[in-house]
Structure 1
């Protein structure tokens, strides 16, 4: 009675879904962590506090400065 098994859904999505979720999670994490890491590196280089570094990066280099290394690796 309790040994009845439900049939697994047929199709590719049930097989691919974990890989899609993992890939999407990795991309989102990279997009969120990259700007934080860029500010951290500049703080370590002695360019000021987190607020000062962020303000200077936005003012002098624009939003793309936070993703500069990532863009270099892609192209």
Structure 2
């Protein structure tokens, strides 16, 4: 007697949730990258010759730790609009093409 193997059903994720996941992923990435981008910009403005650790230490000593996140709101707004739309439309088009 042959046993039948149950094939798992593919889960359906609503398009709105895909848009939200895309936006949240972009916003989380921005929170990680923001301090690195600030350090890079300060290094470029200073003319070079210093390590990223030296620049980060100087920023924290002079302005405090949370100053590494200066300008974060602009990055989050960009991700909330641009990345949410871009990834949401990509997923929607991909699903449409699959069908």
Instruction: Tell me what 1:38 maps to.
Output: 38
1:25 Cα deviation after fit: 0.6
Which consecutive segments of 4 or more residues in structure 1 shift more than 3 A?
none
Matched residue pairs, number?
64
> Aligned partners of 1:64 and 1:43: how far apart in 2?
18
**Distance in 1 (alpha carbons) for counterparts of 2:41 and 2:15:** 39
1:17 Cα deviation (Å)?
Answer: 1.7
TM-score normalised by structure 1 residue count:
0.68
Unaligned runs of 5+ in 1: 1-5
Match of 1:70 in 2: 72
| Residues 37-56 of structure 1 aligned to structure 2 (within 5 Å) | 37-46=37-46, 48-56=50-58
CA RMSD of aligned residues (A): 2.4
